[in-house]
Structure 1
Amino acid sequence: MNLFRSVRTVTTASGTGYVDWHAVAEAAKASTDAGSLDLSAAEREGYAADVRDARDRLRTLGGVDFDLPDTVEIQNRHHWIDANVDTFRRVMAPIEREAPDALFPGVTRVVNTGTLSFMLAFLGRNVLGQYDPLLLAEAAPADRDHALYFVHPNIVDVADSLDVDRPRFRRWIAFHEVSHAAEFGSAPWLSDHLETKLERGIDALVSGDLDREAFRELDTAMTAVEGYAELLMDRAFDDDYADLRAKLDARRQGGGPVARLARRLLGLGLKRRQYERGAAFFRAVADARGLEGASAVWERPENLPTETELDHPDRWLARV
């Protein structure tokens, strides 16, 4: 890890765009220790077995038909940063193309490059696993090969810091990410739905406006995505992992002052709210209609809960 090299890379950002994406990746990696990927054969097989077990268990439990993405990777932190620079670049592309020329382009480029490298470095040090539906990629949603990532050094570090068994913790993360594969795999329309809302919001920003309705609908859909995954996790493990859940919930809220500020700036408090609100909705639905009833959310876009229904599951039950 070399903070001096990271700062120097940002301050010498070049090019003609609003962001020097090469510098973003290099600065984020310079300020982040890659971590070890020195896994034993047993550890690699452990990941593979956990992913397979999660697929089989969640297929049966949720009554949903899905398969795993072809791309399942065990990554270090630098691998994760590289993969997600591409995601950030896709999201920012319309803004970079259409935004008016900056008054001080060099300064703007340095500030944007520094901001994005900080975000990716912080996330790269904290993300445990990721299901990536590759939103805004060039291929049509139905033709995209979604991806599943596990950031092994972070999984090891967090398991140790929480004082939990590493294989047990790894299995928990595998089940959570495969839960997202279950959602996107059983709802082929979901990627397109999220992408449409995201594009609407970005187009409005490019035009100097704020489409609050688009971002509200995107938040509602993501709350359903996170909440359903939490429900599947609850039912897959019953009370066996209650201690681990409590420790993870505390971690989502914890950290030092800098970490808490970074989480707030990156909207991670919103993500925690999505977990909690979505989980409460789906638990109420599953208690009333079982897991297969809750899985009806993914049958078609119209079955997604509305903003109001998230807080009043009885209204969703009456409608759907």
Structure 2
Amino acid sequence: MNLYRSARAVAGASGTDAIDWQSAADAAKAATDPGSLSLESGEREAYGRDVREAREAVRTVSGVDFDVPETVEIQNRHHWIDANVATFERVMSTLETHTGTFPGVARTVNTGTMTVLLAFLGRNVLGQYDPLLLADGPANDHALYFVRPNILNAAHKLEVDPDRFRRWIAFHEVTHAAEFGAAPWLSDHLERRMEDGIATLSEGSIDREAFRDLDAAMTVVEGYAELLMDLAFDDEYEDLRRKLDQRRQGRGPLQRLVRRLLGLGLKERQYERGKEFFEHIVAVRDLETASLVWTRPENLPTQDELDSPGQWIRRVDP
């Protein structure tokens, strides 16, 4: 980790775009310890086994016929940054023509902001099935990532068995693969709403409807994944969730500020709100009714319906 080299990369941001993405990636990696990829005997096979068994379990409980990427990538933190910078660049492309009155200053500030974002996420992401990876290529071009140093570090700090923790992460990411397998339209829908919101931000205004729609969709994505986890995971995991929550709350003030600025507290709220929505639907109907959210974009619940699941049921399955 070299903070001086990171600062130099940001200060040297150049080009004609609002963000120098190569400098942002270089600076983020310079500020981040990559972590070890020295796999223990049988560890690579264990990752693959967890994913295969998660796929079969989720297929069984959900009734959704989906597949997972043929290649499961075990990454260090620098690999994760490299794998995601192109996705960030594509989603934020609407900023490229809005550099303001002082484009050089704006470019440096924007590049620095993205450096902080990439570095923080690179140090904290455990596993990833990214829906935005699907939006710009064929369906079989998706990827499933596990950031091994972060998984081991989190398991150590939480004082839980690393193999059990890794398996839990695998199940969670595979539930996302099931969702996007059930709804081939979902990745494009999410990316369009995100681009709409970013476009208006770059013009100095806020498309509140786009962000409300995006929040509702992500609440459904996270809530349905939690529902499938409850049904598919072959072990109790409430202790893992509780310890993760305690770890987040116990972070220092600077880390809590960064999480707030990145909207990561919002994601935790999406988990809870989405899970409550689907638990109600399954309690009064069944999983088949809950799965109607994936039939078409119009079946996604509105913000009001997320708080009144009965209203959503009456609309989509009267």
- Normalising by the residue count of structure 2, what TM-score does the alignment of the two structures yield? 0.94
Deviation at 1:239, TM superposition (A): 6.6
Equivalent residue for 2:183?
187
Distance across 1 between alignment mates of 2:235 and 2:157: 22
The secondary structure found in structure 1 opposite 2:42 is helix
Equivalent residue for 2:118?
120
The one of 106, 109, 113 equivalent to 1:108 is: 106
Give deviations 1:278-303, integer Å, cap 9, x for gaps. 01111111222232322222122222
Distance across 2 between alignment mates of 1:42 and 1:13: 43
Equivalent residue for 2:245?
249
Distance across 1 between alignment mates of 2:221 and 2:210: 17
Equivalent residue for 1:4?
4
Equivalent residue for 2:86?
86
Deviation at 1:143, TM superposition (A): 4.3
Distance across 2 between alignment mates of 1:190 and 1:167: 32
Equivalent residue for 2:145?
149
* Cα distance change, pair 144–112 in 1 and its aligned pair in 2 (3 A): farther
The secondary structure found in structure 2 opposite 1:134 is helix
Distance across 2 between alignment mates of 1:128 and 1:197: 26
Question: Which sections of structure 1, spanning at least 5 residues, go unmatched?
Answer: none
Give deviations 1:193-215, integer Å, cap 9, x for gaps. 21222232233334443211111
Distance across 1 between alignment mates of 2:43 and 2:218: 32
Equivalent residue for 2:231?
235
Is 2:135–2:187's contact at 8 Å kept on the other side of the alignment?
Answer: no
Is 1:70–1:145's contact at 8 Å kept on the other side of the alignment?
Answer: no
Q: Percent identical across equivalent pairs?
A: 67
Equivalent residue for 1:61?
61
TM alignment of 1:1-320, pairs within 5 A: 1-96=1-96, 98-99=97-98, 101-134=99-132, 138-139=136-137, 143=139, 145-237=141-233, 240-320=236-316
Q: CA RMSD in A?
A: 1.8
Give deviations 1:95-134, integer Å, cap 9, x for gaps. 11x31x5322222221111111111101100000111123
* Cα distance change, pair 206–106 in 1 and its aligned pair in 2 (3 A): closer
Is 1:135–1:195's contact at 8 Å kept on the other side of the alignment?
Answer: no
Distance across 1 between alignment mates of 2:210 and 2:57: 35
The secondary structure found in structure 1 opposite 2:33 is coil
1:294 maps to amino acid? A
Is 2:135–2:188's contact at 8 Å kept on the other side of the alignment?
Answer: no
Distance across 2 between alignment mates of 1:168 and 1:138: 34
* Cα distance change, pair 144–91 in 1 and its aligned pair in 2 (3 A): farther
2:123 maps to amino acid? R
Deviation at 1:13, TM superposition (A): 1.8
- Normalising by the residue count of structure 1, what TM-score does the alignment of the two structures yield? 0.93
2:263 maps to amino acid? G
2:91 maps to amino acid? V
Deviation at 1:316, TM superposition (A): 1.6
The secondary structure found in structure 1 opposite 2:124 is coil
Is 2:62–2:287's contact at 8 Å kept on the other side of the alignment?
Answer: yes
Distance across 2 between alignment mates of 1:113 and 1:28: 10
Question: Which sections of structure 2, spanning at least 5 residues, go unmatched?
Answer: none
Aligned pair count? Answer: 316
1:64 maps to amino acid? V
* Cα distance change, pair 167–117 in 1 and its aligned pair in 2 (3 A): same
2:153 maps to amino acid? D
Deviation at 1:4, TM superposition (A): 1.3
Is 1:204–1:211's contact at 8 Å kept on the other side of the alignment?
Answer: yes
Distance across 2 between alignment mates of 1:298 and 1:216: 18
The secondary structure found in structure 1 opposite 2:132 is coil
Is 1:133–1:147's contact at 8 Å kept on the other side of the alignment?
Answer: no
Is 1:24–1:114's contact at 8 Å kept on the other side of the alignment?
Answer: yes
Give deviations 1:221-263, integer Å, cap 9, x for gaps. 0100000111111222377112112112223433111110100
Name whichever of 180-189 and 209-218 sits farther off. Answer: 209-218
